[in-house]
Structure 1
């Protein structure tokens, strides 16, 4: 019984940052995890604003230790979702864009969706755009 409780506590601690990211990501139709001063983060935020989307933006460098934990979770999620194993883990951590609570991806995925015309329908489906 004690071993099961200890295992449960370890699992809770391990899943804590992932659960926090899931809660934050599902708090709005579009959520961007960013770092102030990151040019790729700026590009994604400007694109979304230019399309008429008001994303919730979390600047991870302004969240202290919690921001570093979130960045590690995002790095893991983005590297797992990346089709290319050569993607740099640190470069993939931000920006991380969630649409409708689901991970869309980083700057490359957002730009790809924008260019191929699938970004606006995704945003409409999530309730971020009405036009």
Structure 2
């Protein structure tokens, strides 16, 4: 499990995102211009991303389902993240009217949706093949 605020990834408007390679030998700095770009960068660079709130029961359901299937998603806890409010506003814009924006699940760089969509994919048998397709599952 990867948690963004513990792995050194910082996001937000004008905040640099640092990635360390070879135990600190090389640093790559990407400047994110907006929360939209931050969300896009995280979604495109990870097979599965879950934007979550630490006290949200539906977020816990989504994470447990993915962990139970053997997926190790990148998890961004918005209530513990310095740019969490800005990112949550971006996620709200992505959701169709009337849908809850948290949890927000991205698979293969594309916005899947919230808990309702994740559960529907799982029940209908589409989730596991999609996870295999993006490399989140190998079996």
TM-score, length-scaled by structure 2: 0.74
Count of aligned residue pairs for this structure pair: 107
SS in 2 for 1:121: helix
The residue correspondences of 1:16-95 to structure 2 (distance < 5 A) are 16-64=34-82, 66-79=83-96, 85=97, 87-88=98-99, 92-95=100-103
Q: What are the ranges of 5 or more consecutive residues in structure 2 without an aligned counterpart?
A: 1-32
Structure 1, unaligned runs of 5 or more: 1-14, 80-84
**Distance (whole Å) between structure 2 residues aligned to residue 129 and residue 58 of structure 1:** 20
Q: Which structure is higher in helix share?
A: 1
Root-mean-square deviation (Å): 1.1
Higher radius of gyration, 1 or 2: 1
Alignment of 1:103-114 (within 5 A): 103-114=111-122
TM-score (norm 1): 0.78
Report the 3-state secondary structure (helix = DSSP H, G, I; strand = E; otherwise coil) of the residue aligned with 1:94: coil
Greater length-normalized contact order (CA 8 Å, ≥ 6 residues apart) = 1
Greater share of residues in strand: 2
Aligned to 1:10: none
Structure 1 runs of 4+ off > 3 angstroms? none
